[in-house]
Structure 1
């Protein structure tokens, strides 16, 4: 769990398929899904709606 600049706490999750730590992490922020690089979380995050995140996962699975 990390503390955000606004004082809220976020739980970042990593895929259970990741054994090396070289992957992305996700967290729920309000009604959005945040995605960040696990190797360099200070670079920031991408905020997606649940619908857009679902679309992204479907494209990755192809």
Structure 2
């Protein structure tokens, strides 16, 4: 796609595997930090937001 060809993944600067690992690390880190510094409910709500974004927005609405 013309509009997105210069972004890191389409241009080949970032591999899909590396992007997935980075996303997983960020999700686990955010869950851990929210659990430690806020509370478990906040961590679960944030995690459910991540899952909702992956399942609904990315997979369902982008088809």
TM over 0.5: no
> 1 or 2 for the larger relative contact order (CA 8 Å, sep ≥6)?
1
Q: Which has the higher helix share?
A: 2
Q: Which has the higher strand share?
A: 1
TM-score of the two chains, using structure 2 as the length reference = 0.28
